[in-house]
């Protein structure tokens, strides 16, 4: 009895928080570790796109893309924002985390049942039996992921980014390996399902082992109510954002068929999905760090304006290259049979230019406890995106992609005026920090279009040279402005530090 009581007190006082005085070191080290893990994940993503696109048919990807919105919609309610609530709350107890764990598990079980019941409806809607079987099978993935949610949140809150980096890297490699082996043995959409399930199982098992936390018996505590209310705002945003991310697949699949949807899905996966995979893991570093700086506005602003422009420097020149040379990149990466995705890929690329700027705004909403405002902005994004999809649909998948890119340009200034009206980071701060890289990327697109006839005929040589030119131009343009020079200096400091660590 006494031994159990002492263990519980120890958990309440130490297990959920990072060591005192480690914040500064954790942010820098966490960014490097997260970047390394994300490199592995992106490599696996690109390998998956390239290898599996050669092993499987467009129709297989189309079936998975048809099932994805159903899974995505149900998955919106699995976490209920409770992982972010665990990370964001300044002081949290074992009893509160335990209550959130069992809420997650109960919701996951309920949603798994809903997926099984909804599977015949999905098959009937798409007139494709395989979609129904896949939707039912995805219920298992819901249960597995739900079991590890709070354990991931604990690692994130503790800023144990090294353990999270290993977890992410290993699970990505395992999932890729399972998918490729399955596709070699039995080519079909089940290979993609098997890879996703293997990733989820590996991540959950490793999170339990790495966190060291174990849930007790189900029990409600008073403090859980505030956490659920905070999570409701996050869930509201995710619910609205779901339509912005998935209704394009639903509409294209329903009205244009699974082959055109397969082309659209491959273009999306090759560009926008990797960009989201860069931004989302960084939230593991930034949200807990910023949440502990809310009482120090100058430090908060400095931290955000230090990291966000670095993200733009890393991603935007690559996106510019992808837009300008889409007709070379897509067949080279996926095979000639996917050349029809090039125009779609190019249109989505323009949306990607601004998503690298806009996605990190979520760090500000969440760390400042503004989940209700985050939800309202999600509703605006959903409505404008759905309008864009409907406008573009008569022109096929390319029309949907182009209209979506236009909507991203129209929303961007409104987003930063909205998020910057409160808190340490204003719209002007972000405009000054982002201008050199956003404008530089657009200039790089123009330059590559002009010199394109003079690049080598060999695809690999052309892409390498185009990449060097794109990054060089963006860096040169950024160096003309003080915010750009500050970011370049910060990048050099990080590279030197990484070199020292490597040695």
- Which DSSP string corresponds to 396-452? HHHHHHHHHHHHHHHHHHHHHHHHTTSSS--HHHHHHHHHHHHHHHHHHHHHHHHHG
- Kindly list the domain boundaries of the chain, sorted by start residue: 1-257, 293-503
DSSP string, 149-218: HHHHHHHHHTT-HHHHHHHHHHHHHHHHHHHHHHHHHS-STHHHHHHHHHHHHHHHHHHHHHH-----S-
Whether the CA torsion 21, 24, 27, 28 is positive or negative: it is negative
Taking a C-beta distance cutoff of 8 angstroms, is the pair 382, 244 a contact?
yes
Q: How confident is the model at residue 446 (pLDDT cuts 50, 70, 90)?
A: very high
82 vs 30, residue with greater confidence:
82
Phi/psi of residue 12, each to 5°?
-60, -35
The pLDDT value given to residue 261:
84
**How big is the chain by its Cα radius of gyration, in Å?**
23
| CA dist., res. 231 & res. 476, Å (int) | 43
The pLDDT value given to residue 413:
95
The pLDDT value given to residue 421:
92
15 vs 180, residue with greater confidence:
180
Phi/psi of residue 251, each to 5°?
-65, -45
pLDDT in tens, 189-205: 899 999 999 999 999 99
Residue 4 has pLDDT above 50, yes or no: no
| Rama region for 257: left / alpha / beta (φ>0; ψ in -120 to 50; rest) | left
The SS3 of residue 365 is helix
Q: How far is CA 403 from CA 105, 390, 393, 408, in A?
A: 39, 9, 9, 9
Q: How confident is the model at residue 433 (pLDDT cuts 50, 70, 90)?
A: very high
Query: Among 59, 123, 7, which Cα is nearest to 337's?
Result: 59
The pLDDT value given to residue 27:
60
| CA dist., res. 76 & res. 103, Å (int) | 14
| CA dist., res. 241 & res. 185, Å (int) | 37
Task: Name residue, tokens 């092993």.
Answer: 55
Picking from 14-23, 265-274, 289-298, which range would have the lowest pLDDT averaged per residue?
14-23
Residue 502 has pLDDT above 80, yes or no: no
The pLDDT value given to residue 149:
85
């Amino acid at each position: 009895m006494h031994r159990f009581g002492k263990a519980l007190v120890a958990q309440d006082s130490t297990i959920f928080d990072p060591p005192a005085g480690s914040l500064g070191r954790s942010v820098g080290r966490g960014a490097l570790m997260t970047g390394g893990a994300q490199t592995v994940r992106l490599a696996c993503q690109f390998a998956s796109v390239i290898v599996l696109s050669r092993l499987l048919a467009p129709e297989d990807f189309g079936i998975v893309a048809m099932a994805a919105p159903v899974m995505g919609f149900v998955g919106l309610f699995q976490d209920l924002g409770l992982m972010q609530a665990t990370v964001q709350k300044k002081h949290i107890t074992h009893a509160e985390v335990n209550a959130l764990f069992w809420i997650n598990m109960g919701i996951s079980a309920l949603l798994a049942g809903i997926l099984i019941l909804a599977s015949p409806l999905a098959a009937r809607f798409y007139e494709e039996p395989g979609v129904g079987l896949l939707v039912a099978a995805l219920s298992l993935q819901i249960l597995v992921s739900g079991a590890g949610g709070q354990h991931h949140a604990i690692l994130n809150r503790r800023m144990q980014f090294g353990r999270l980096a290993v977890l992410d890297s290993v699970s990505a490699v395992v999932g890729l390996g399972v998918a490729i082996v399955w596709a070699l043995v039995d080519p079909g959409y089940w290979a993609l399902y098997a890879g996703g399930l293997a990733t989820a199982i590996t991540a959950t098992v490793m999170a339990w082992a790495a966190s060291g936390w174990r849930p007790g018996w189900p029990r409600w505590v008073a403090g859980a109510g505030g956490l659920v209310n905070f999570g409701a705002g996050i869930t509201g945003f995710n619910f609205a954002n779901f339509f912005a991310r998935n209704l394009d697949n639903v509409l294209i699949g329903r009205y244009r068929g699974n082959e055109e949807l397969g082309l659209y899905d491959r273009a999306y996966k090759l560009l926008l999905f990797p960009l989201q995979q860069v931004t989302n893991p960084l939230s593991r570093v930034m949200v807990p760090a910023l949440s502990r700086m809310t009482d120090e506005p100058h430090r908060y602003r400095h931290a955000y304006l230090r990291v966000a422009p670095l993200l733009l420097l890393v991603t935007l020149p690559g996106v510019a290259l992808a837009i300008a040379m889409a007709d070379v990149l897509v067949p080279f990466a996926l095979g000639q049979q996917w050349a029809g995705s090039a125009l779609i890929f190019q249109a989505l690329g323009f949306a990607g230019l601004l998503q690298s700027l806009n996605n990190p705004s979520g760090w500000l909403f969440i760390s400042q406890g503004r989940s209700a405002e985050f939800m309202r902005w999600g509703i605006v994004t959903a409505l404008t995106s759905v309008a864009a999809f409907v406008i573009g649909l008569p022109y096929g998948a390319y029309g949907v992609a182009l209209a979506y890119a236009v909507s991203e340009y129209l929303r961007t200034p409104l987003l930063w005026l909205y998020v910057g009206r409160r808190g340490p980071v204003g719209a002007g701060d972000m405009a000054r920090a982002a201008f050199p890289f956003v404008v530089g990327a657009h200039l790089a697109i123009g330059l590559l279009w002009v010199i394109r006839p003079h690049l080598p005929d060999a695809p690999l040589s052309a892409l390498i040279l185009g990449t060097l030119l794109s990054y060089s131009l963006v860096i040169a343009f950024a160096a003309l402005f003080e915010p750009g020079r500050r970011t370049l200096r910060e990048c050099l400091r990080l590279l030197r530090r990484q070199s020292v660590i490597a040695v």
